[in-house]
């Protein structure tokens, strides 16, 4: 009897705690959705509970129709979106290409200086990427290379080579070497071994790093705010300007609508990738 | 075996040379012209490759420079003018190629600004024909200098290999060993070189987009490059350790720097610890036998991890505005005075009156910091919840059974079995989270923008003049961002100084991690 009471009390406590947690997690998100559908320009007008009399789609309309650049067919928001998309796609292909060839060389070929290069990669992976950012910005500005989304993708790619190389290398080391050896006996060149034999086997890890590379530019702000200004803003910079405050550009409700549209697909991808997260973490940090 | 001392090695080296005068000849030939010794050794293909490298370097130097103009009489047409700031023609500055001018630029950082009088003319921003009329651009010269330095280092490596190779090959030849012909060498080179060839694109990317920028940033810390010098009107100068001594010697600067460092550390530690333990609590509660619908609760609690952090941080920035969500909830539940008084009583806010200003008042900086840690907790806990849930499922059940038989209470078996196992499995993730939070730009910048700002009377005069004052909640990284990016506040040199500080700090943690992750970089 005593145990039953205790159990009941503990499950009550657990559910109570979880319900409070879920409320804290969900309320800000629900408020964001509510705000994005509210009339007017200020937070003051946003009610705590849905209020049909204040419902409005004006912010979504703004997002999809407001054009400040003369001659542009698409709204500023969509243009900013497409710039981030360009960077994301370029980064995806860049990262996969570099990580696969570098990972292959490190996993499968013996050569002089390999250990030193691996150590260099390891060290590079550990230092924060902003270290060279001032320099890259000054150099890019010097040679007129700022304001070009595609060139920004190069920086993202370079920065993520070390980490992803280790992921590919770690994955490849689990594939038996006898496969390459028998192919080599049959006369396959190293390049053929990579493209014909190993590539189909490493598709899972390629998928993992491809999604990571595609997501990176959507989640970053710093580099984009340095390198792309004026008419070349990306979605992150565009959104931040709406909430910076202290000026006439402060439009929190436009922000809510714009941010929601971007957050939903990212959220879905993240949920889908959730099961791989722990894998990426442990293989990157522990076994290799 | 005892390692030979340098002197002994040098003696052995001299001995070796004396015994092989013929090989020495090859080496000396290669010393003068790359590849010449290889010709003498009858390795034509190898010789041509080396000679080609030499010619390539010379050609780059000549064609990127203005030697041709100098030779065709430009120097006589516009001679140096005595009495000017630079009375003589500075040949390397005016006509040097990638390498010579690069090294000159690295040493001097440029000497002649725009509108200066030079060789009887006034210098311009950029002159396409008389290139020496262009003003010196310190940053371009620094960049060019670093590129030149890297290429020259590689070239010196090849040059040393060339001498060494000429000597040893000849020695082998004289001792009657078979040496490979040039053709064999080229074939072997191709197979040996294959890994280097496929690594080449990566190495080039890493060199130009990581290493050179890194060196560039490092060197900036030793210059006087600020927004005031960021034009062609001034050339930048090397200033040695001045920027470093300033933050140590000047009490005002040191105070602000320590303030920022301290808050960075407090934030990094409290953010990591709170997210870790809340994550653990959530994982344990959900996995406990008292809870059903585990998947439902887990899915909801993961939401903050799935939503892009940037977006949720900016939403929270709105929620903590004067007319935002939080104040509205407090007002509608009549809890505003309670909270207001409470925060004032524990010293987080400067006044207990009216509506709470969470993010904008300097007197409330303590409260703002609490908000930052709290919001970061909301964002970061799900990550550890997922991680620790994963660990919990792998815990060995028999351990608990054994413990129960020995009469251990639940709390004891948690403290002695569960906790140590979780800690051990998640240690790398904790270290990673700490370094991540140390540089967690977003948590600060998107939420508070570094604000509230510091009142002027708390800032030393010299910093007010130079600008680049950090806000009350700026951590190092967000301060660096402002220092290198806010219009008319760019103190690039100070940003570089603080970057080096972070580098040293993170570097020492990384060394610890590196030793742990030995299997990763060690070859099998």
Q: Express each pLDDT in A77-114 by its tens digit.
A: 999 999 999 999 999 999 999 999 999 999 988 888 88
A250 touching chain B per CB within 8 A = no
Among A130, A262, A274, whose Cβ lies nearest the Cβ of B311? A262
pLDDT of B277:
95
* E-strand stretches of chain A: none
- pLDDT surpassing 80 at residue B86: no
Q: In this model, does residue A280 exceed pLDDT 60? A: no
Distance between CA A256 and CA B322 in Å, rounded? Answer: 17
Q: Which of A152-161, B200-209, B332-341, B343-352 has the lowest mean pLDDT?
A: B343-352
Burial code of B361-393, b = ≥16 C-beta within 10 A, e = fewer? bbebbebbbbbbbebbbbbbbbbbbbbbbbbbe
Determine the distance in angstroms separating the CA of B285 from the nearest CA of chain A, rounded to an integer: 6
pLDDT at B523 over 70: no
Minimum-distance CB partner of B319 among A28, A121, A270: A28
Helices (H) and strands (E) in chain A, counts: 13, 0
State whether residue B330 is helix, strand or coil. helix
pLDDT confidence band for B239 (50 / 70 / 90):
very high
Q: With beta carbons under 8 A apart, name residues in chain B contacting A191.
A: 198
Q: Which of residues 154-193 of A touch B (CB under 8 A)?
A: 154-155, 157-159, 161-162, 165-166, 170, 173, 190-191
Helix (H, G, I), strand (E, B) or coil at B462: helix
Tens of pLDDT, residue by residue over B158-186, are: 999 999 989 988 888 888 777 677 677 77
Summarize the confidence of residues B480-508 as an average pLDDT. Answer: 86
Q: Which residues contact A53 (CB under 8 A, 6 or more apart)?
A: none
Asked if the model's pLDDT at residue A287 lies above 50, the reply is no
Q: How far apart are CA A155 and CA B205, in angstroms?
A: 9
ipTM of the complex: 0.89
* pLDDT-based confidence at residue B278 (cuts at 50, 70, 90): very high
pLDDT of B521 reads 56
- Interface check for A142 against chain B (CB to CB < 8 A): the answer is yes
Rounded to whole angstroms, how far apart are CA atoms B447 and B313?
5
Pick from B396, B395, B413: which is nearest to B404 by CA?
Answer: B413
Q: Is the pLDDT higher at A19 or at B231?
A: A19
Per-residue model confidence (pLDDT) at position B129: 81
Residues A197-210: pLDDT tens digits?
Answer: 899 989 888 988 99
Q: pLDDT tens for residues B10-68? A: 888 888 888 888 888 889 999 999 989 988 888 888 889 899 999 999 999 999 888 88
**Mean pLDDT to the nearest integer, A119-125:** 80
Of A31, A122, A134, the CB nearest to B325: A31
Query: H/E/C letters for each residue in B383-452?
Result: HHHHHHHHHHHCCCHHHHHHHHHCCCCHHHHHHHHHHHHHHHHHHHHHHHHHHHHHCCHHHHHCCCCCCC
The stretch B96-108 carries a mean pLDDT of: 92
pLDDT digits (tens, 9 = 90+) for B453-478: 888 888 888 888 888 889 999 999 99
pLDDT reported for residue B518: 61
DSSP letter (8 states) at residue B87: -
| Residue B519 pLDDT | 58
Looking from the CA of B237 toward its CB, the CA atoms found within 13 Å total 9
Q: Judge whether residue A62 has pLDDT over 50.
A: yes
Q: Could you tell me if A60 lies within 8 Å of chain B, comparing CB atoms? A: no
Report the pLDDT value the prediction gives residue B489, as an integer from 0 to 100: 81
pLDDT of residue A131 exceeding 80, the answer is no
What confidence score (pLDDT) does residue A286 get? 37
Q: What contacts B412, CB < 8 A, 6 or more positions away?
A: B403
pLDDT band at A284 (very low <50, low <70, confident <90, very high): very low
Tens digit of each residue's pLDDT (9 = 90 or more) over B318-350: 999 988 899 999 999 988 888 888 888 888 888
Work out the mean pLDDT of chain B and round it to a whole number: 87
Structural contact between residues B106 and B75, judged by C-beta atoms closer than 8 angstroms: no
Mean pLDDT estimate for chain A: 86
pTM for the whole structure: 0.86
Q: Tell whether the model's pLDDT for residue B424 goes beyond 90.
A: no
Q: Please name the residue of chain A whose CA is at the shortest distance from the CA of residue B387.
A: A278
């Amino acid at each position: 009897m005593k145990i039953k009471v205790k159990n009941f009390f503990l499950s009550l406590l657990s559910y109570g705690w979880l319900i409070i947690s879920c409320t804290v997690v969900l309320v800000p998100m629900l408020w964001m959705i509510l705000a994005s559908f509210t009339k007017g320009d200020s937070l003051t007008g946003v009610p705590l509970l849905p209020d049909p009399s204040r419902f409005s789609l004006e912010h979504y309309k703004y997002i999809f129709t407001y054009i400040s650049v003369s001659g542009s067919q698409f709204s500023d928001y969509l243009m900013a979106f497409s710039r981030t998309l360009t960077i994301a796609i370029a980064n995806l292909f860049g990262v996969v290409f570099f990580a696969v060839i570098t990972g292959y060389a490190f996993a499968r070929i013996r050569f002089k200086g390999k250990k030193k290069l691996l150590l260099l990669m390891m060290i590079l992976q550990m230092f924060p990427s902003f270290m060279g950012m001032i320099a890259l910005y000054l150099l890019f500005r010097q040679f007129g290379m700022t304001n070009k989304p595609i060139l920004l993708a190069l920086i993202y790619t370079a920065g993520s080579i070390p980490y992803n190389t280790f992921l590919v290398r770690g994955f490849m080391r689990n594939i038996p070497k006898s496969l390459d050896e028998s192919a080599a006996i049959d006369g396959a060149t190293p390049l053929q071994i990579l493209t014909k034999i190993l590539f189909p086997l490493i598709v899972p890890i390629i998928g993992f790093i491809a999604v990571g590379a595609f997501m990176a530019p959507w989640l970053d702000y710093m580099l984009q705010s340095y390198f792309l200004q004026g008419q070349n803003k990306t979605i992150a910079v565009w959104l931040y300007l709406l909430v910076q405050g202290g000026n006439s550009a402060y439009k929190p409700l436009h922000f809510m609508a714009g941010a929601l549209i971007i957050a939903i697909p990212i959220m879905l991808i993240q949920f889908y990738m959730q099961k791989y997260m722990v894998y990426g973490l442990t293989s990157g940090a522990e076994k290799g | 075996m005892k390692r030979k001392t340098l002197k002994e090695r040098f003696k052995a080296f001299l001995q070796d040379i004396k015994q092989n005068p013929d090989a020495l000849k090859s080496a000396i030939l290669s010393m003068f012209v790359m590849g010449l010794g290889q010709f003498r050794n009858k390795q034509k293909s190898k010789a041509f490759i080396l000679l080609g490298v030499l010619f390539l370097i010379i050609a780059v130097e000549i064609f990127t420079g203005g030697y041709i103009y100098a030779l065709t009489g430009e120097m006589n047409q516009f001679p140096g003018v005595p009495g000017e700031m630079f009375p003589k023609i500075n040949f390397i500055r005016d006509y040097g190629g990638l390498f010579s001018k690069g090294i000159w630029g690295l040493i001097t950082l440029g000497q002649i600004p725009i509108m200066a009088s030079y060789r009887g003319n006034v210098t311009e921003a950029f002159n396409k024909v008389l290139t020496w009329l262009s003003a010196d651009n310190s940053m371009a010269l620094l960049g060019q200098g670093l590129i030149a330095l890297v290429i020259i280092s590689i070239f010196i490596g090849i040059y040393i290999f060339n001498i060494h190779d000429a000597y040893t090959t000849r020695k082998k030849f004289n001792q009657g060993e078979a040496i490979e012909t040039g053709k064999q060498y080229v074939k072997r080179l191709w197979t040996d070189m294959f890994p280097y060839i496929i690594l080449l694109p990566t190495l080039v990317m890493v060199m130009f987009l990581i290493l050179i920028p890194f060196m560039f940033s490092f060197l900036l810390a030793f210059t006087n490059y600020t927004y005031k010098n960021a034009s062609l009107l001034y050339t930048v100068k090397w200033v040695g350790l001045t920027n470093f001594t300033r933050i140590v010697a000047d009490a005002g600067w040191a105070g602000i720097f320590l303030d920022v460092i301290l808050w960075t550390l407090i934030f990094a530690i409290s953010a990591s610890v709170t997210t870790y333990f809340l994550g653990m609590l959530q994982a344990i509660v959900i996995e406990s036998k008292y809870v059903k619908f585990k998947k439902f609760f887990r899915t909801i609690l993961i939401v903050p991890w799935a939503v892009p952090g940037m977006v949720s941080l900016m939403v929270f920035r709105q929620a903590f505005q004067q007319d935002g969500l939080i104040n509205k909830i407090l007002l509608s539940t009549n809890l505003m005075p309670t909270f207001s008084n409470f925060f004032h009583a524990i010293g987080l806010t400067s006044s207990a009156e009216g509506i709470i200003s969470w993010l904008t008042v300097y007197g409330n900086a303590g409260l703002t910091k609490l908000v930052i840690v709290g919001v970061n907790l909301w964002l970061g806990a799900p990550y550890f919840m997922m991680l620790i849930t994963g660990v919990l499922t792998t815990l060995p059940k028999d351990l608990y059974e054994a413990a129960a038989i020995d009469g251990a209470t639940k709390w004891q078996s948690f403290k002695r079995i569960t906790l140590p196992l979780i800690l051990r499995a998640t240690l790398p993730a904790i270290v990673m989270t700490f370094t991540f939070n140390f540089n967690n730009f977003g948590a600060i910048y998107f939420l508070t923008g570094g604000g509230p700002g510091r009142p002027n009377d708390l800032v030393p005069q010299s910093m007010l003049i130079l600008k680049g004052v950090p806000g009350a909640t700026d951590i190092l990284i967000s301060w660096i961002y402002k220092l290198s990016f806010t219009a008319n506040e760019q103190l690039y040199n100070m940003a570089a100084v603080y970057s080096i500080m972070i580098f040293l700090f993170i570097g020492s943690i990384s060394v610890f991690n590196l030793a742990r992750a030995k299997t990763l970089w060690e070859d099998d």
